[in-house]
Amino acid sequence: HRATRSAAATGNPPSGHFELAMTKRKRKAPEEDGVLPGPPPKKVRVEGADALVQQVFPSYPEGFPRDAPKGDELNALMQLDFRGKVHLVTGANEGNVDWTALNSAKVLGFDTETRPVFQKGLMPNPTALIQLATEDEVWIFQLLPVVGVSEVTKKRLQAVLSSSAVKVGVGLHEDYRDLCRHHFPSMKSASGVVDLQDIVRPYGLRSTGLRALAAMFLCRRIAKAQQMSNWGNAQLTQAQIWYAAVDAWAGWKLYGVMRSLFEESEQWAPPRRLLITDG
């Protein structure tokens, strides 16, 4: 426990690793672009009270909590660990990116990092990082000047992000909106987008952030120590790099588990085409 809590306090990866066993079964092909999530939960009148409407939630998988653990219960969980390859991509080494692997991936965990704004009323800073994850590799692209990737690489990134490959994560509309505002002004839509929150929205869960979902469906804890760090630094720390990699890979891992649990439900939220607005 001491080692685990120390890792949580510093944001550094723990010494141990884990593998989450999953039952393999035949997968359906991703739905075509433009298909919206399933119908909303039904509403029925409560007997004896015509004016009162009660929400009726779909059947929920047995053995999984409807709320994330907190406090000591959360701290007792093993920390989520990624033990694949992490590629930090800058303008100096962008020629080494394996675009074949990225372009051929059927599912990509997707996340971004932005230098936080601590003063109320200020506009958000430009997106500093894009993270893309497969089962055993994560690419972290630095976007800001001085060390950031070139416009050529940004165009290739835009092609990946707007393609039909499934991109999974949490809060993706905001991520896409901010990327388009500062880096990809010509990208107005993206195909194959799956926000993990949409998958569980019909079930009335109390918490649906990435860390809550990881605790509920992976039984793992995601460290938050680096969340508010300076992502605009040209030289990222090892703790920042590890944090960014885990955040993107967690989306990839969660999608596999949640798909096995919810895909047969009428409420399943398939990949869809996202229209990117500035609102």
Is 64 a member of any domain? no
Q: Which residue(s) pair with 190 in the sheet? A: 274
Is 201 a member of any domain? yes
Is 87 a member of any domain? yes
> What is the chain's pLDDT, residue by residue, as a tens digit (279 residues)?
444 444 444 555 554 443 443 334 444 444 444 444 444 544 444 344 443 334 568 889 999 999 999 999 999 999 999 999 999 999 999 999 999 999 999 999 999 999 988 778 788 899 999 999 999 999 999 999 999 999 999 999 999 999 999 999 999 999 999 999 999 999 999 999 999 999 999 999 989 999 999 999 999 999 988 988 999 999 999 999 999 999 999 999 999 999 999 999 999 999 999 999 865
pLDDT number for residue 277: 81
Strand 107-114 relative to strand 127-133: parallel, antiparallel, unpaired?
antiparallel
Is 25 a member of any domain? no
pLDDT number for residue 228: 80
Is 241 a member of any domain? yes
The domain of 234 spans: 77-275
Amino acid at 188: K
Q: Closest Cα partner for 230 from 125, 115, 140, 129?
A: 115
pLDDT number for residue 7: 47
Domain total of the chain: 1
This prediction's pTM = 0.79
Is 51 a member of any domain? no
pLDDT number for residue 44: 41
Is 58 a member of any domain? no
What's the CATH number where 82 sits? 3.30.420.10
3-state percent breakdown (helix, strand, coil) of the chain, nearest 5: 30, 20, 50
Is 108 a member of any domain? yes
Dihedral over Cα of 167, 75, 63, 17: its sign:
positive
